[in-house]
Structure 1
Amino acid sequence: MKDRPNVLLICADHWAAAYLGVAGNTAIQTPGLNELSLCGTRFTNAYSECPVCIPARRTLMTGQTPRSHGDRIFNDTLTMPDVITLAQTFRDHGYQADAVGKLHVHPQRDRIGFDSVLLDDEGRPQWGVQDDYDIYLGDIGYAGRQFDHGLSNNQYYYRPWHLPEETHATNWAARNMARIIKRRDPTKPAFWYLGFRAPHPPLVPPQSYLDLYRDLDIDEPYMGEWARDTESLPFAITAVRSRMNLYSPKQFVGAKRAFYALCTQIDHQIRYLIGTLRLEGLLDNTIICFTSDHGDMLGHHGMVAKRVFYEASANVPIILLGTRDNPPLPEGSVDDRLIGLQDVMPTMECRANASWPGSTGVLIIKEC
């Protein structure tokens, strides 16, 4: 039992497939994910079936399409469908399953099959829940201060993080995942899920990460010819584009720097976790998968955020690293097969143990 591989699934928020150095983006700094890609497999045609937070995460955690699990719009009061989740499947087969960070389920303290959850759900006090990140800030003397930056969760204004860098939600999540890895049950294999809330706005990276981009040229958004004819655009697209009109071109370049800074911060924390696995003697026997719930238009075609089925919104990164003795494909492989978030659950199950019942879905990897 203890020789079966561990699984670390990492999900960012708003991270498009193109926002990786290894994908050809010369403006963004992602050394850790570049190296992970060169040691594993990067999937270039992976898509979020419904590119908005809650439906995408329900697909990731159930292996079901939005049509099947019941949310195709963003229903934040919808409970998880009565199905066996990814976490519960691992537990049913002898794994210890722990989660840190953003789950985005209702009710908030629903563990959706995990043994434990350290929750960072961006506050959301409307549901009457104080999440674990809020509790942490209170314990160290910053009670109720995570939003002192004064910025919105859905706008593209930016500023540096207002508290010490170690208190940032990204660092908190990685640090607690490292602690869980170190405190694992040595008699069981482990399934670890880490949900980073960034680079989802508010755009508040630590100053040290903003400084990394101070003197770098930032790639300009692209504009399709169809998008230039504003008079003929559908109302839905016009409505999405209206959010972009809040910012001058110079302001938006700054916002993009802040967005990329949040990505680099996550990248560095993933490197920290890889180091933790290595020091614990677990790296060679741990399957690692990095993905995102959806992307962010970041000005492309005059739009920001998600909810639209264009590449920057729907095309997500999936990077898969197998164990030393069971790699999915040769190191540094680039796979262009069409896949979706619904494929992550059966793939994780299959790579961990191909004999499990229910592990015969549409797999990312042809053979386990």
Structure 2
Amino acid sequence: NVILFTTDQHRGDYLGIAGHPLMETPNLDAWANHGLYFPNAYTEIPSTTGARRVLHMGKGSYHCGAIGYLGAEWDEKQSIAWMMAQAGYHCINVGWRNMNPRRKLYGYHNVICHDLRKGEDDYMDWLEQQVGPEAMERGHGSDANGWIGRPWHLEERLHPTVWTVDVALDQIAKRDPTKPFFIWVSHLRPHSPYDPPQFYWDMYINEDIPEPPIGDWCEEYRDIELRPDRTAWAGELTPAQTRRCRAGYMGCISHIDYEMGRL
């Protein structure tokens, strides 16, 4: 059986095994200690959609037509899921996909996705059933491309990170018992919104978080004033805003670690 586990916008140095002085990632650290750890690995392309296509096609971004969010149509028969299915695996995809078309199977037998679009998002449909028609994943005011950090506003069991692992466990239990399984468990976090449940927020909000390395090239954007836009890609944040953003980001990583330990 094969589990492919991915996170989104996860810095490689934000792991305990990477030497981060504060990060609590005991499960990921244990996997690395008992397997192989590649500290010098880096993504072919920094944007989500392109990186996922490279991962699934096994080709560089230029050769699979992915140089960003747009690009050539995916060749389904060259995808990892298609090849695993041909080899006799029951292929399952759970969580954050960011593929186009969103509901296309791309070789998977089962797809249960969280893709941030009502009507095409199984998580949002489930959340509405749990909470009611007013349910909103981002009802706390943070955004999927924003910098606001704050605790999750609903019960912890309703967080998409928890839902993703719950669904993965359910799918594994209900798989075809005559075949090995290949499951891609994909988390949107620690991509914004930086909204871990309260327990994981409290892990870091009062810690002395080390200052990040900042390159000289950032200076040319320092005078760009984009606030109060909460999705601004540049601009000056106050120390308090930055602390909340980073504490939320770190909390999301530890939350994922604990949930993956449950899986």
Scaled by the length of structure 1, what TM-score is found?
A: 0.66
1:265 maps to 255
Whether 1:105 and 2:90 are equivalent positions in the alignment is no
Report Cα offsets for 1:305-352 as digits up to 9, x if no partner: xxxxxxxxxxxxxxxxxxxxxxxxxxxxxxxxxxxxxxxxxxxxxxxx
Residues 76 and 107 in structure 2, CA contact (< 8 A), matched pair in contact too: no
Whether 1:33 and 2:28 are equivalent positions in the alignment is yes
Residue 244 (structure 1) shift: 4.1
- Aligned with 1:175 (options 148, 166, 175): 166
State percent identity of aligned pairs: 31
SS in 1 for 2:54: helix
- Aligned with 1:130 (options 114, 120, 127): 120
Structure 1, unpaired ranges of 5+: 1-5, 274-368
SS in 1 for 2:123: helix
- Distance (Å, rounded) in 2 between the aligned partners of 1:52 and 1:27: 27
Distance change (3 Å), C-alpha of 1:67 and 1:78: closer
Residues 142 and 148 in structure 2, CA contact (< 8 A), matched pair in contact too: yes
The amino acid of 2:117's aligned partner reads R
Residues 80 and 105 in structure 1, CA contact (< 8 A), matched pair in contact too: no
Residues 102 and 120 in structure 1, CA contact (< 8 A), matched pair in contact too: yes
Distance change (3 Å), C-alpha of 1:20 and 1:83: same
Alignment of 1:149-228 (within 5 A): 149-224=140-215, 226-227=216-217
- Distance (Å, rounded) in 2 between the aligned partners of 1:40 and 1:100: 24
Greater RCO between the two (CA within 8 Å, min separation 6)?
A: 1
SS in 2 for 1:41: coil
Residues 204 and 247 in structure 2, CA contact (< 8 A), matched pair in contact too: yes
- Distance (Å, rounded) in 1 between the aligned partners of 2:124 and 2:236: 30
The amino acid of 1:27's aligned partner reads L
Alignment RMSD, CA only? 2.2
Report Cα offsets for 1:45-83 as digits up to 9, x if no partner: 1111111000000001111111111120212x8642354
Scaled by the length of structure 2, what TM-score is found?
A: 0.91
1:16 maps to 11
Residue 246 (structure 1) shift: 4.1
Report Cα offsets for 1:182-235 as digits up to 9, x if no partner: 2222211110100100000011111111112243221211234x347x3xx5x8
SS in 2 for 1:9: strand
1:93 maps to 87
Distance change (3 Å), C-alpha of 1:111 and 1:246: farther
Structure 2, unpaired ranges of 5+: 227-231
The amino acid of 2:252's aligned partner reads L
- Distance (Å, rounded) in 2 between the aligned partners of 1:34 and 1:115: 31
Residue 114 (structure 1) shift: 0.3
Distance change (3 Å), C-alpha of 1:183 and 1:238: farther
- Distance (Å, rounded) in 2 between the aligned partners of 1:27 and 1:61: 32
The amino acid of 1:247's aligned partner reads L
Displacement over 4 Å in runs of 4+? none
The amino acid of 2:21's aligned partner reads T
- Distance (Å, rounded) in 1 between the aligned partners of 2:63 and 2:132: 42
1:365 maps to none
SS in 1 for 2:62: helix
The amino acid of 1:177's aligned partner reads A
Residue 150 (structure 1) shift: 1.7
